[in-house]
Structure 1
Amino acid sequence: MAKKAPRRTAERILETTLELFNRFGEPNVSTTAISAELRISPGNLYYHYPAKDELVTALYARYEAELSELLESAAGVRDVEDARLLLHAVLERIWQYRFLYRDLNDLMSRNRHVETHFRELLARKAGAVRAMLRGMEQAGSLRFGPRELDTVADNLMVAVTYWLSFEYVRDPRHALEPSNARTMLLRGAQHVLGLLGPYLADGQRLHLQALDDSHEPADAT
C-alpha cells in the first residue's frame, strides 16, 4: 500500500496546480503557492515535480491525451447532432485546461514540449475537423463547392482554438470563472456550428435550429 502514496500525492499536486493555473493564470502561480495550497512542504513538491515547467508539461500531456481520444471519433460524425456533441466535448476539454489557452503564446515561448506538441496536436485537430466535414458531406448533411471544405475547416479550427481567448478579451474579469462554463460552452458550440449554416442541407439546417432552441439561449456578456 505504501508504494501507492507517491502516485496519489503526484495526482493531488496536478489537480491543485490545474485549479490554481486556471484561476490565476500559470505565470501568476508559484511553486510556493502550490505547496501552500496543498499544505505540503516545498521539498515534497520538488520531489514529485522539480520545476514548475514539469507541472505544465504533465498537465499538457493529460490534456493532449484526453483531446486526442475525442478526435478519434471525428470520422464517425454524420449529422449536425453528432457534430454538436463532438464540438461541445472538445470545448469542454479546452475549458478544463483553459490556462493553456489563456497564456498560450507565453507558454509556447518558454516550454519546448508545449511548443512542439501543441503544433502537432493542432495538425491532428485539423485532420479531425476535415474528417468530420467529409463524413457529413458523404452522408448528405453538407454540400461543398470546389475547395470550400478546406476553407470551412480552417474557419472551424480558428473558432474552436481561440474561442476562449475571444471570451476572455470580451470580459477578462469574469469570462473564465467556473460559473460561466455552461454559457461559454453553449455559445461556443453555437457559433462554431453556425459557420456550417450556408453549407447545410435544408433538413440539417432545421435540425440545427431545433437543437439550438432546445437549449437555453447563450447570454451575451
Structure 2
Amino acid sequence: MATRKAPRRTAQRILESSLALFNRFGEPGVSTNAIAADMGISPGNLYYHFPAKDDLVNALFLQYEQALQPILDAADAVTNVEDAWFFLHSLFEANWQYRFVFRNLNELLSRNRHLEARVREWMDALGRSMNALLSTMQSHRALLAPPLGWDTVGTSMVVVQVYWLSYEYVRDPRKALEEDNAQNAALRSAAHVLSLLAPYATSGQQAHLRHLIDAYGVRQAEAQANAAA
C-alpha cells in the first residue's frame, strides 16, 4: 500500500501562496485578505500564523537567504570565466524565485526595520562572495589584478545583481517579471555582471568571455540601443 504524503503545514502553504502573489503583482499590491482568499482560508487563520504582512516578507526573505547561502559558499571555487558564468547564473536564478524583493526593495526597506538589517547583512555577504570570486580567479591567472584592488569591481557586481530585476521591470512593467521571462532575465543579468570582468580577463580567458557575453545578447542589445539613440 502506497504511503500518503503528509499534508503541507498551513504556514508553509501561506508562504508559497504569498510568494506567488507577491512575485506576480508586487508586494504592495497584495493584501493579506487577498492571500487568504487565494488559499481558501479565513483571514483569521492567516493572521494566526503571520500577524502582519511584514512577517510574511521576513519569512520569505529568510527562505531566500537559505537558498542563496550554498551558492555564495561556492564563490572561492570559481577559478575561470566558465565557472564565473555558472556561479552568476545560479545567483540570478535564486533572485528570480524571490523577485518581488528586488522589484520593491526600497519601498520594503522604508517600512520594515527587521528587513533593513537583514538586507544589509545579505549585501555584505554578497560583497564578500564577489571579492572571493575575483581573488580566486586572479590566483588561478584568469584575471589580472586591477590597480586599485577588487573592492570597487566587487561592489559594482553587487549593485548590478541587486538592481537588475528592478531595471528589467522599469523597461517593461507589464511583462518583465512574468514567469515566461525567467530564463532570459537570468541570462541577461549574468552576462552583464560577467562583462564587468572584461577589462581584467587574461588573454587565455578573453575569447571565451566575449563568446559568453555575445551569446546572451549583451553586445547586441547595446548596439540596438546605440542605433536608436
| TM-score normalised per structure 1 | 0.92
The 3 A distance-change label for structure 1 pair 216 and 146 is closer
Q: Give the gaps of 5 or more residues in structure 2.
A: 1-5
Counterparts of 1:207 and 1:142, CA distance in 2: 13
Counterparts of 1:207 and 1:138, CA distance in 2: 18
Secondary structure class of the residue paired with 2:169: helix
Secondary structure class of the residue paired with 2:145: coil
State the AA in 1 paired with 2:195.
Answer: G
Residue in structure 2 matched with residue 163 of structure 1 by the alignment: 164
Measured after TM superposition, the shift of residue 159 of structure 1 is: 1.0
Report if the CA contact (8 A) 2:191-2:216 is conserved. no
Counterparts of 1:209 and 1:164, CA distance in 2: 23
For residues 70-219 of structure 1, what are the structure 2 equivalents within 5 Å? 70-212=71-213, 217=217
For residues 49-88 of structure 1, what are the structure 2 equivalents within 5 Å? 49-88=50-89
Counterparts of 1:131 and 1:154, CA distance in 2: 12
Measured after TM superposition, the shift of residue 216 of structure 1 is: 5.9
Deviations 1:76-109 (A, max 9, x none): 1100111111111111111111111111111111
For residues 10-29 of structure 1, what are the structure 2 equivalents within 5 Å? 10-29=11-30
Residue in structure 1 matched with residue 3 of structure 2 by the alignment: none
Measured after TM superposition, the shift of residue 69 of structure 1 is: 2.1
Q: Do structure 1's residue 48 and structure 2's residue 49 form an aligned pair?
A: yes
Give aligned-pair identity as a percent.
52
Counterparts of 2:68 and 2:104, CA distance in 1: 19
Counterparts of 1:125 and 1:145, CA distance in 2: 20
State the AA in 2 paired with 1:169.
Answer: V
State the AA in 2 paired with 1:96.
Answer: Q
Which structure 1 residue ranges, 4+ long, deviate > 4 Å from structure 2? 215-221
State the AA in 2 paired with 1:136.
Answer: M
Measured after TM superposition, the shift of residue 11 of structure 1 is: 1.0
Secondary structure class of the residue paired with 2:84: helix
State the AA in 2 paired with 1:19.
Answer: A
Measured after TM superposition, the shift of residue 211 of structure 1 is: 3.7
Report if the CA contact (8 A) 2:192-2:213 is conserved. no
Q: Give the gaps of 5 or more residues in structure 1.
A: none
Higher mean Cα deviation, 12-21 or 44-53? 44-53
Secondary structure class of the residue paired with 2:60: helix
| TM-score normalised per structure 2 | 0.89
Counterparts of 2:18 and 2:118, CA distance in 1: 20
Q: Aligned pair count?
A: 216
Q: Do structure 1's residue 8 and structure 2's residue 9 form an aligned pair?
A: yes
Cα RMSD of the aligned pairs, angstroms, is: 1.8
Counterparts of 1:106 and 1:75, CA distance in 2: 33
Secondary structure class of the residue paired with 1:89: helix
